[in-house]
């Protein structure tokens, strides 16, 4: 083996212990952080295994409130959606009398759009044509007549895939250190991870916790001006309804963001995967596209906007299908051709996910057989989520040292937690963020797995955690009771040390 | 709108016509090429639409032999695979007497490995644990006892996703222009596209067309030494059986490649998605891992190897499910943790694709109900492919000016075509590669869509095209007849001009 010799020549690249190790790993990969599946979740997995193998803890099960994974928390699939996907998967079921006709014709229509009438063929890279058309029709209806062109619709492998793809167009490799991507803080860590991986500059704009996590336009200008000193911001990302923050943006706020993007010539990425998850009666989902339309043709014909949706959230919670779409408007036609080329390298999004997406945008109509059951199941999921949103806010706000904004939408509470100075010191001595220290203690003592606020970003000196509101109402009550008891005893323990 | 002012300050970034246009697009995206879905395929789509709308051409249908999309070409799905996936999708079918018990228990087992027993939950980022275990068991059996650790198995969204992920670890952004990736020429253009997107250096090693596209070890050394003058080669990619070239590598050749990788400390990526597609009786698939094992512990415990498989090829042809896996051995444990982190940002591969992968590695056994039908369907697909491989080679080799190596495996023929100098000149005058010119003429005159060899790479001055052998035997005969007639008249037309 001549590696010894090679080493002496190429010490910066080659180690005698192998080709790929931490020193040679792509440093942008090293820089990526993804808290939702980070160290605390690995720890939760270890504890789960330990319990399964007969180990004992002060609790009998780990409750994973770290990730928006509805089915894992017991939510049942929407029957009609699964019927359509099963029919597409195994068309012999078309002869089965136990499948309703409205599911059958939808499956048939999807299959007619597939090569060889099979879910096993590749689709066109932007997705099955009839599904793209259904999505455009759905958007037009949702936005009360604002036109949607099906050729602007691209199916994706979940929303994350779409977000990464658009960012890749915008973030140029060689000049990447000069491309600024504006993201809310707190944010969903896909954004910061993508920015690290692509070596772009993360430009933080802070949401206003005192004002129910509203987006303050002055803060946007501040962030933009500050960033311009060291990079060129080219894109602004908005998550509405908010993840992890749960706010639903007002129409006025969206107008201001769009005006800002128009003025500063920014590409707008609106992450609207929680568009069906709005709980507070005085809040309403406004799509960025519709608001842009209402601002008039000067805006609607010029602001470059990509909006993202997914099968994973809403009332379906079909995360495992990895379905989603993006609508891209005002994109330069040549760039669009480049986008299609880029998508074609990955061939196509999974067909079962595309079929699931089709059901979401083309649900049973009032005159169809499956309408009643579909509607019942949908209302039941969304009703329960609204109840759990309210319950979570109420119980958390009754705990001294915890303050939780209303969960107006999405699937998470992001309460602010007071961590006593002595606990902050102890965490720092362990080389740990204080909220990571807090969440690890919570996990170890109660079995509850939530994600530290530091994984999403937060104002310096403040601490939070993100928890989903997805457990069943009974389990959620238990969970919140345990959080309360833990927090009180944690405060007591560390305040006694003052 | 203040864009006018912004323009004057940041002319290098901002245009008055929008944010994202060709000048501001990530240049690495611009550099990507992907011939399999490139301009000729777009043209084929246009002609198809034209025919559908009543237009006339010298042919009645476009035959797409450009992409390995078996179901689109009429191949029927394997019943058992679809039964298992349908059962997983709609578990109410567990009560149906028309589904066999062996499919039911497989589906049940997969669902037990899913959060909430639902295909709609996220799996762990590397995949469902029991499926990873089934894959490891399958590999051990395939490789006659060579150990496989399930924790080295990562489910992927098709093989392309796995290949991109491993390359991303190896290609560092900032030093990327110095990271060399060795690929065969001709190659599957995913590799060149990924290299462009990541801004790595493509290091070509040429397969030996005169010797049935064998990999010549001297050529590897030549390519490596030449590359070292301007970059540091860190990884070697091999496609076996070959795409687009169809050769099946000998054990000796694989040993040589592995010895070379060991000596030069290269990471080995073996694309083995066609491992079930071997047609010539005197050829056999040897996995890189098994050969490495047989070379002894000095090799087996040190060479870093990732091997890729997929649901899209083989006898299943389930492209639309986007299923696949990679087995990664001898990866540094810290790097493995980084790999898992990177995977976790994309959450997980589609669950239906994971289930499909499970059926492939855990097919019905001789004592099970579905064995006979499964085996019949599998043999029928593979038998037909073997017949078509032979037929394609024979018919093409009977055409003057076409020379086709035996299609020992995979799904493609990559014949060398003689293009008369006058046609080369005409192509050049049009700013076109000669084989692109040829393939466009073929498409326009016969409706047959194949991919120019220039999209895969070829020795200067040689010309080829890639066609799949997937059409039904009747259609394939028509196709090959048309290719023959076209080629003869093309030769005649341009030779007359000499």
- Whole-number pLDDT of residue B14: 37
Long-range contacts of B90-93 (CB under 8 A, 24+ apart): B90/A82, B90/A83, B90/A85, B90/A86, B91/B117, B93/A86, B93/A93
Of B24, B345, B350, the CB nearest to A322: B350
- Whole-number pLDDT of residue B246: 95
What percent of chain B has pLDDT above 70? 95
Nearest-Cα distance to chain A for B334, in Å, is: 7
- HEC string for chain B: CCHHHHHHHCCCCCECCECCCCCCCCHHHHHCCCHHHCHHHHHHHHHHHHHHCCCCCCCCCCEECCCCCCHHHCCCCCHHHHHHHHHHHCHHHHHCCCCCHHHHHHHHHHHHCCHHHCCCCCCCCCCCHHHHHHHHHHHHHHCCCCCCCHHHEEEECHHHHHHHHHHHHHCCCCCHHHEEEEEEECCCCHHHHHHHHHCCEEEEEECEHHHCCECCHHHHHHHHHHHHCCCEEEEEEEECCCCCCCCCCCHHHHHHHHHHHHHHCCEEEEECCCCCCECCCCCCCCCHHHHHHHCCHHHHCCCCEEEEEECCCCCCCCHHHCCEEEEEECCCHHHHHHHHHHHHHCCCCCHHHHHHHHHHHCCCCCCCCCHHHHHHHHHHHHHHHHHHHHHHHHHHHCCCCEECCCCCECCEECCEECCCHHHHHHHHHCCCCHHHHHHHHHHHHHCEECEEHHHCCCCCCCCEEEEECCCCHHHHHHHHHHHHHHHHHHHHHHHCCC
When pLDDT is cut at 50, 70 and 90, the band that residue B4 belongs to is: very low
Interface test with B, best of A158, A260, A350, A359 (most B CBs within 10 A): A350
Nearest-Cα distance to chain A for B377, in Å, is: 16
Q: What residues pair up with B148 in beta bridges, in sequence order?
A: none
Residue B80 pLDDT greater than 80, yes or no: yes
When pLDDT is cut at 50, 70 and 90, the band that residue B10 belongs to is: very low
- Whole-number pLDDT of residue A424: 95
Domain range summary for chain A, segments of one domain joined by + = 1-26, 30-74+374-495, 103-361
Nearest-Cα distance to chain B for A491, in Å, is: 33
- Whole-number pLDDT of residue B39: 81
The residue length of chain A stands at 498
Of B13, B24, B121, the CB nearest to A320: B121
Residue with tokens 């036109």: A147
Mean pLDDT score, B455-484: 95
- Whole-number pLDDT of residue A19: 83
- Whole-number pLDDT of residue B491: 93
CB-based contact A270:A188 (threshold 8 Å): no
What percent of chain A has pLDDT above 70? 95
- CATH class, A103-361 region: alpha beta
- Whole-number pLDDT of residue A84: 98
Q: Test A263 with B1 for CB contact under 8 angstroms.
A: yes
Nearest to B351 by CA among B85, B82, B151: B85
Nearest-Cα distance to chain A for B143, in Å, is: 24
- Whole-number pLDDT of residue A199: 86
On the question of a cis peptide bond just before residue A186, with omega within 30 degrees of 0, the verdict is: yes
Residues of A in contact with B22 (CB under 8 A): 332, 334-335, 338
Residues of A in contact with B29 (CB under 8 A): 168-169, 338, 341-342
Interface test with A, best of B168, B350, B470, B471 (most A CBs within 10 A): B350
**Could you tell me the two tokens for A39?**
């160290």
CA A248 to centroid of chain Cα atoms: 15
CB-based contact A176:B176 (threshold 8 Å): no
Q: What are the pLDDT digits (tens) for A73-128?
A: 999 999 999 999 999 999 999 999 999 999 999 999 999 999 999 999 999 999 99
Mean pLDDT score, A129-155: 97
CB-based contact B328:B152 (threshold 8 Å): yes
- Whole-number pLDDT of residue B175: 64
Q: Test B320 with A157 for CB contact under 8 angstroms.
A: no
Residue B176 pLDDT greater than 80, yes or no: no
Q: Which backbone phi and psi does A308 adopt, to 5 degrees?
A: -120, 140
Q: Test A114 with B320 for CB contact under 8 angstroms.
A: yes
Of A74, A96, A334, the CB nearest to B116: A74
When pLDDT is cut at 50, 70 and 90, the band that residue B17 belongs to is: low
Q: What are the pLDDT digits (tens) for B319-329?
A: 999 999 999 99
How does the average pLDDT of chain A come out, rounded? 92
The Cβ of residue A330 has, within 10 Å, a number of other Cβ atoms equal to 19
Strands B305-310 and B63-64: unpaired
What percent of chain B has pLDDT above 90? 85
Distances (CA, A) of B442 to A131, A358, B189, B487: 32, 37, 22, 8
Nearest-Cα distance to chain A for B327, in Å, is: 16
Nearest-Cα distance to chain A for B400, in Å, is: 34
Q: Test A174 with B27 for CB contact under 8 angstroms.
A: yes
Q: What are the pLDDT digits (tens) for B95-134?
A: 999 999 999 999 999 999 999 999 999 999 999 999 999 9
User: Which contiguous run of DSSP H or E holds residue A155?
Assistant: strand A153-156
Q: What are the pLDDT digits (tens) for A450-491?
A: 999 999 999 999 999 999 999 999 999 999 999 999 999 999
CATH number of A30-74+374-495: 3.90.1150.10
When pLDDT is cut at 50, 70 and 90, the band that residue B8 belongs to is: very low
- Whole-number pLDDT of residue A104: 98
Q: How far apart are CA B209 and CA A327, in angstroms?
A: 46
Residues of B in contact with A72 (CB under 8 A): 115-116, 118, 121-122
CB-based contact B361:B162 (threshold 8 Å): no
**Could you tell me the two tokens for A394?**
């109420």
Helices and strands: H and E segment counts in chain A: 18, 14
The residue length of chain B stands at 498
- Whole-number pLDDT of residue A175: 64
Nearest-Cα distance to chain A for B381, in Å, is: 15
Q: Is A383 helix (H, G, I), strand (E, B) or coil?
A: helix
Q: Test A345 with B32 for CB contact under 8 angstroms.
A: yes
Residues of A in contact with B122 (CB under 8 A): 67, 69, 72, 319-320
Nearest to A306 by CA among B161, B1, B196, B19: B19
B9 or B344: which carries more pLDDT confidence?
B344
Residue A216 pLDDT greater than 50, yes or no: yes
Nearest to A360 by CA among A66, A50, A84, A4: A84
Nearest-Cα distance to chain B for A467, in Å, is: 17
Of A89, A123, A304, the CB nearest to B85: A89
Q: Test A27 with B172 for CB contact under 8 angstroms.
A: yes
**Could you tell me the two tokens for B239?**
């496609």
Of B235, B265, B267, the CB nearest to A6: B265
**Could you tell me the two tokens for B135?**
């894959």
When pLDDT is cut at 50, 70 and 90, the band that residue A136 belongs to is: very high
Of B24, B25, B120, the CB nearest to A317: B120
Of B70, B90, B318, the CB nearest to A86: B90
- Whole-number pLDDT of residue A36: 67
Mean pLDDT score, A224-244: 95
Minimum CA–CA partner of B97 in chain A: A96
CB-based contact A311:A318 (threshold 8 Å): yes
Size of interface A-B (CB pairs under 8 A): 335
Nearest-Cα distance to chain A for B274, in Å, is: 17
Of A1, A119, A331, the CB nearest to B20: A331
**Could you tell me the two tokens for B371?**
């064995």
Q: How far apart are CA B135 and CA B349, in angstroms?
A: 15
When pLDDT is cut at 50, 70 and 90, the band that residue B41 belongs to is: confident
Residue A6 pLDDT greater than 80, yes or no: no
Residue A164 pLDDT greater than 60, yes or no: yes
Residue with tokens 């078509």: B388
Nearest to A111 by CA among A351, A325, A320: A351
Q: Test B19 with A234 for CB contact under 8 angstroms.
A: yes
Q: Test A77 with B118 for CB contact under 8 angstroms.
A: yes
CA A319 to centroid of chain Cα atoms: 11
When pLDDT is cut at 50, 70 and 90, the band that residue A13 belongs to is: very low
**Could you tell me the two tokens for A443?**
């996990």
CB-based contact B345:A160 (threshold 8 Å): yes
Supply the Cα-derived Rg of chain A in whole angstroms. Answer: 24
Predicted ipTM? 0.92
CB-based contact A182:A203 (threshold 8 Å): yes
CB-based contact A155:A349 (threshold 8 Å): yes
What percent of chain A has pLDDT above 90? 84
Q: Test B77 with A118 for CB contact under 8 angstroms.
A: yes
Q: Test B350 with A266 for CB contact under 8 angstroms.
A: no
Q: Which backbone phi and psi does A397 adopt, to 5 degrees?
A: -70, -15
Residue A290 pLDDT greater than 80, yes or no: yes
Q: Test B20 with A70 for CB contact under 8 angstroms.
A: no
CB-based contact A468:A65 (threshold 8 Å): yes
What CATH architecture is B122-361? 3-Layer(aba) Sandwich (3.40)
Q: How far apart are CA B287 and CA B281, in angstroms?
A: 17
């Amino acid at each position: 083996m001549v590696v010894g010799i090679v080493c002496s020549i190429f010490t910066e690249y080659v180690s005698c212990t192998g080709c790929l190790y931490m020193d040679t790993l792509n440093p942008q990969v090293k820089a990526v952080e993804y808290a939702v599946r980070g160290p605390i979740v690995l720890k939760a997995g270890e504890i789960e295994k330990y319990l399964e193998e007969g180990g004992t803890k002060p609790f009998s099960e780990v409750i994973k409130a770290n990730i928006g994974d509805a089915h894992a928390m017991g939510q049942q699939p929407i029957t009609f959606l699964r019927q359509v996907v099963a029919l597409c998967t195994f068309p012999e079921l078309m002869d089965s009398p136990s499948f309703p006709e409205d599911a059958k014709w939808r499956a048939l229509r999807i299959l007619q759009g597939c090569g060889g009438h099979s879910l096993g063929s590749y689709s066109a890279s932007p997705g099955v044509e009839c599904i793209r058309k259904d999505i455009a029709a759905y958007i037009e209806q949702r936005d009360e007549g604002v036109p949607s062109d099906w050729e602007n619709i691209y199916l994706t492998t979940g929303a994350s895939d779409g977000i990464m793809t658009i960012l890749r167009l915008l973030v140029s490799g060689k000049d990447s250190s000069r491309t600024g991507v504006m993201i809310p803080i707190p944010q969903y860590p896909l954004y910061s991870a993508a920015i690290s991986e692509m070596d772009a500059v993360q430009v933080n704009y802070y949401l206003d916790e005192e004002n129910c996590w509203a987006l303050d336009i002055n803060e946007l200008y501040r962030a933009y001006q500050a960033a311009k000193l060291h990079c060129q911001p080219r894109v602004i990302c908005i998550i509405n309804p908010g993840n992890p923050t749960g706010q639903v943006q007002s129409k006025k706020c969206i107008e201001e963001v769009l005006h800002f993007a128009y003025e500063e010539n920014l590409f707008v990425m609106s992450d609207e995967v929680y568009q069906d998850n709005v709980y507070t009666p005085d809040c309403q989902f406004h799509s960025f596209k519709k608001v842009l339309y209402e601002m008039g043709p000067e805006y609607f014909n010029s602001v470059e906007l990509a909006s993202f949706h997914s099968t994973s959230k809403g009332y379906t919670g079909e995360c495992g299908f990895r379905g989603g779409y993006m609508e891209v408007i005002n994109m330069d036609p040549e760039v669009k051709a480049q986008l299609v080329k880029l998508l074609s390298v990955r061939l196509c999004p999974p067909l079962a996910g595309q079929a699931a997406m089709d059901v979401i945008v083309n649900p049973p109509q009032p005159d169809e057989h499956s309408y009643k059951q579909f509607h019942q199941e949908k209302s039941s999921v969304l009703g329960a989520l609204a109840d759990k949103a309210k319950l979570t806010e109420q119980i958390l706000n009754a705990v001294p040292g915890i303050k939780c904004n209303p969960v107006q939408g999405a699937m998470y509470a992001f309460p602010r937690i007071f961590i006593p100075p002595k606990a902050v010191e102890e965490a720092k001595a362990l080389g740990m963020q204080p909220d990571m220290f807090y969440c690890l203690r919570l996990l170890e003592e109660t079995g509850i797995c939530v994600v530290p606020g530091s994984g999403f970003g937060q104002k310096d000196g403040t601490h939070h955690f993100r928890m989903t509101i997805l457990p069943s109402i009974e389990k959620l009550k238990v969970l919140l009771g345990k959080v309360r008891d833990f927090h009180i005893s944690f405060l007591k323990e560390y305040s006694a040390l003052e």
